[in-house]
Amino acid sequence: MEKRALLFKRRGVWVALLLWFAAPLNAQQIVTAIHVQWDNNLNDNQPWQCVTTGEVANPWFHFIVAYKFPIINVMVDWAELQELTQAHPVQPTRQTSFSLQSGLPAGCTRPPVSDPQNWSIRWCDMFPMMGPFLHNAPYRLTVQYRYLAIVGYNPMPVYQTFGPFQTTVEFSVRNLVVSSSDEVRVLKWDPDRPEVCDTTFRYSLDSAQRRDAPVRISIYSTDGAKVYEVTEQKACPQTHTFSWEGLTASGQPAPPGLYVFDVEVNPNAYPFSDADRLRSERISIGEHEIEIDSLGHFTSRYIIRSGRNAASVWSEVYAPTLERIAGPVFGPTHAIPPDVPPAPHDWCSLTTAVNLEYCSQQSYRFLLWARDSFSDQDKAHREKTCLTNQRVYLIGWFAGFGFHFSRGNFISGLPPMPSELDCRNMPGEIAHIVKEVVKRDPATGKLQVVPGYSPRVVLPGGQTGSLIFTNPIGASGFKMKLNEAVRGLSPRSGIVYYAGHGGFGTLIGFPDPAPESEDELFGLPTPGIRVTVTPFDLIHLHAVRVFYLSACQTCTDSSGSGLVAAIAARGAQAVVGFHRSLQGLKMPPGKDADKVFFRSLAGTKGVLFGLGAREGTTVGQALDLAWQQLIAGPPRRGQTWRDYYGVAGSAPNPLNVTIK
């Protein structure tokens, strides 16, 4: 009886403890908050502030929770950021991984409780570095969380998870934007007729955040050449006026004519900082021309380059007096991607009725404008205009060939090949590197990124296709595809890249999936040839700037004999190959060296363009960097690229060839 009574009492105590601990789990034991942290004035050196509502700019977010015993831990399930707009369809952004830290976050100005020293406090960041990229719109931020509490002892602690619970805040974002009521007007400049000059325009900087921001003003001719640039510190939010004095970057008077302007705020902003540009970077006017249909009717034919069709395209005509005499006349909005040469059906046209003085000694000017259709991706939901008459041409085409060899067979008359080599991914990787080229703007001396070399081209017959090929096409297929490209794309320059097995001093073979016959080898006249050659030769290669052979022993010395010399004799300006076997070098053979070579030729934009950017180099300078990737460890004393590569070409000095 006494033992049963003791157990009963123990159970009674246990039940009492359970109820005692469970009862206080209410709002008095846990307090949560979502803070929107921002600096409303960058000029006053005051700390950031935490808010839970209102208008902000460039915000950061943290979730903070204060709790007391018996709550012992808090877990965050997810946080969801939802743009509340009707301007475009919206998908909420969700974060599911969190690292809760103890104490108050740095700079937090709103502790969730008045006596934080008596509470356990934890917090976590949410959506780090997203603030500058948020649209100017209302937002809702929701956090779902749970907490763990001790609800009794039996005799060890008994734990229970409570939740899920949610907490929400709503706020509005007003990030930095630049706008201008003069966005689609032209500047008129004629130093001999000051009465017609009109080179003043207004622009506005707007943000919920007060600051002095760097503003870059650029003046362009109507064919896309930058003639002037200046950077000024301007107050934000505020409207400003700028007057161009008609000077070029060198301080000389600009030629008479029409000009357009661009405004960039925070143009060299560090990563994840608020910045904006007046003109669209998502659309441009490409190739264009004017045709006379009949007396008083002119047709503008043009290419629009963008990832989407334009929102609108229109034409204007200006007389020699710089006065507008026709337009705007709106036309088709069909667009093609920036890196794709146009097919015949990609050309758009619009007709303008205007009476011009024929045989005039002065120029009439036809201007084309385009507005993009990316309002859903713009921070202020704008359809932005591009600069007029921008000619965006690819520098040239890229033909890449990568082969896979998986057996240790041999080609007739040649030593055995290695047992495994897979280069099928390399052409795509090199194509990605050379699709843009970094060069120096001769007008301003600044580095700029321009469209480079594309494997997507219009081949003979008007068919759009890719010039990236992987096995099995064999050597005859290689020459056939290359001949098609040269015939269809000359006189535009090109880059040819081959990755696979090499012949031994003379030829390249393509042994996939099994050894191919002698007729599948290059039919290029080289000394010491030991096999039958096919009569299917490569045609002229004068349009090829760089022909790169990533294969063993395509020549016999650094002067580029053998196959390298044979291709150079066909007209390629610079031909690069290896005069030694790549076996035994750093694995994978040649792969890292190939990438370094082409990155050097094309230039690099750095983490953020303008920060660590490098202009494209010559073939010789690229080889100086590339050969070191072939060996493990530091370069050997006295070695240079000549210990590995051979170079020849039709250019006076192939080592000085660039792809810019």
Q: Does residue 114 share a domain with residue 7?
A: yes
Spatial separation of the C-alpha atoms in residues 99 and 112, rounded to whole Å: 19
Q: How many helices (H) and strands (E) does the chain have?
A: 6, 38
CB distance 395 to 659 below 8 Å: yes
pLDDT in tens, 110-128: 899 999 899 999 999 999 8
Spatial separation of the C-alpha atoms in residues 274 and 266, rounded to whole Å: 7
Q: Which of 156, 173, 190 is the last residue of a domain?
A: 173
Spatial separation of the C-alpha atoms in residues 609 and 595, rounded to whole Å: 20
Q: Does residue 185 share a domain with residue 168?
A: no
Spatial separation of the C-alpha atoms in residues 391 and 574, rounded to whole Å: 28
Spatial separation of the C-alpha atoms in residues 576 and 573, rounded to whole Å: 10
Spatial separation of the C-alpha atoms in residues 30 and 25, rounded to whole Å: 8
Q: Is the pLDDT of residue 392 over 50?
A: no
Q: What pLDDT, on the 0 to 100 scale, is given for residue 167?
A: 96
CA dist list (Å): 652 to 397, 495, 600: 23, 18, 21
Name the domain count of the chain: 4
Q: What pLDDT, on the 0 to 100 scale, is given for residue 443?
A: 60
Domain presence at residue 390 = no
Spatial separation of the C-alpha atoms in residues 500 and 426, rounded to whole Å: 10
CB distance 30 to 148 below 8 Å: no
Domain presence at residue 384 = no
CATH assignment of the domain containing 308: 2.60.40
Q: Does residue 518 share a domain with residue 415?
A: yes
Q: Does residue 340 share a domain with residue 217?
A: no
Q: Across residues 229-255, what is the average pLDDT?
A: 93
Q: Does residue 11 share a domain with residue 156?
A: yes
Q: Does residue 426 share a domain with residue 443?
A: yes
Range in 22-31, 291-300, 379-388, 445-454 with the lowest mean pLDDT: 22-31
Spatial separation of the C-alpha atoms in residues 535 and 490, rounded to whole Å: 23
Token digits of residue 19: 């109820």
* Secondary-structure percent of the chain, ordered helix, strand, coil, rounded to 5: 15, 40, 45
Spatial separation of the C-alpha atoms in residues 124 and 63, rounded to whole Å: 6
Domain presence at residue 387 = no
Give percent above pLDDT 70 in the chain. Answer: 78
Q: Does residue 65 share a domain with residue 119?
A: yes
Phi-psi region of 313 (alpha: psi -120 to 50; beta: other; left: phi over 0): beta
- Kindly give the interhelix angle for 591-602 and 426-434, rounded to the nearest 10 degrees: 20
Token digits of residue 412: 């007739």
Element (H, E) at 479: helix 474-489
Q: Does residue 128 share a domain with residue 93?
A: yes
Domain presence at residue 389 = no
158 against 8, higher pLDDT:
158
Q: What pLDDT, on the 0 to 100 scale, is given for residue 468?
A: 83
Q: Does residue 255 share a domain with residue 117?
A: no
pLDDT in tens, 568-591: 888 899 999 988 777 655 545 567
Q: What pLDDT, on the 0 to 100 scale, is given for residue 440?
A: 79
Q: Does residue 414 share a domain with residue 367?
A: no
In the chain, how long is the greatest CA-to-CA distance?
126
Give percent above pLDDT 90 in the chain. Answer: 44
Q: Which of 147, 173, 199 is the last residue of a domain?
A: 173
Q: Is the pLDDT of residue 371 over 90?
A: yes
Q: Does residue 317 share a domain with residue 466?
A: no
Integer-rounded Cα radius of gyration of the chain: 34
Spatial separation of the C-alpha atoms in residues 133 and 376, rounded to whole Å: 12
| DSSP codes joined into one string, 596-642 | HHHHHHH-B-BSBTTBS-B----HHHHHHHHGGGGSSSSPPTT--GG
Domain presence at residue 39 = yes
Domain presence at residue 385 = no
Strands 396-402 vs 493-499: parallel, antiparallel or unpaired: parallel
CB distance 178 to 277 below 8 Å: yes
Closest CA to 580 of 647, 643, 654: 643
Q: Which domain holds residue 371?
A: 288-379
Domain presence at residue 388 = no
Q: Across residues 168-178, what is the average pLDDT?
A: 96
Spatial separation of the C-alpha atoms in residues 152 and 485, rounded to whole Å: 79
pLDDT in tens, 505-528: 444 544 333 333 333 334 444 444
CATH assignment of the domain containing 191: 2.60.40.4070
Beta-carbon contacts of residue 107 (< 8 Å; ≥ 6 apart): 37, 47, 48, 50
Q: Across residues 280-290, what is the average pLDDT?
A: 86
Token digits of residue 161: 């998870």
CB distance 287 to 303 below 8 Å: yes
Closest CA to 512 of 483, 477, 558, 467: 477
Phi, psi of 449 (to 5 degrees): -100, 130
Q: What pLDDT, on the 0 to 100 scale, is given for residue 11?
A: 40
Give me the chain's average pLDDT, please: 81
Q: What's the first-to-final CA gap in the chain, in angstroms?
A: 100
Q: Which of 231, 255, 279 is the last residue of a domain?
A: 279
Q: Is the pLDDT of residue 32 over 90?
A: yes
Q: Does residue 552 share a domain with residue 617?
A: yes
pLDDT band at 403 (very low <50, low <70, confident <90, very high): confident
68-107 burial by CB neighbour count: b if 16+ within 10 A, else e? eebbeebebebbbbbbeeeeeeeeebebeebebeeebbee
Domain presence at residue 333 = yes
Closest CA to 124 of 70, 78, 71: 78
In this prediction the pTM is 0.64
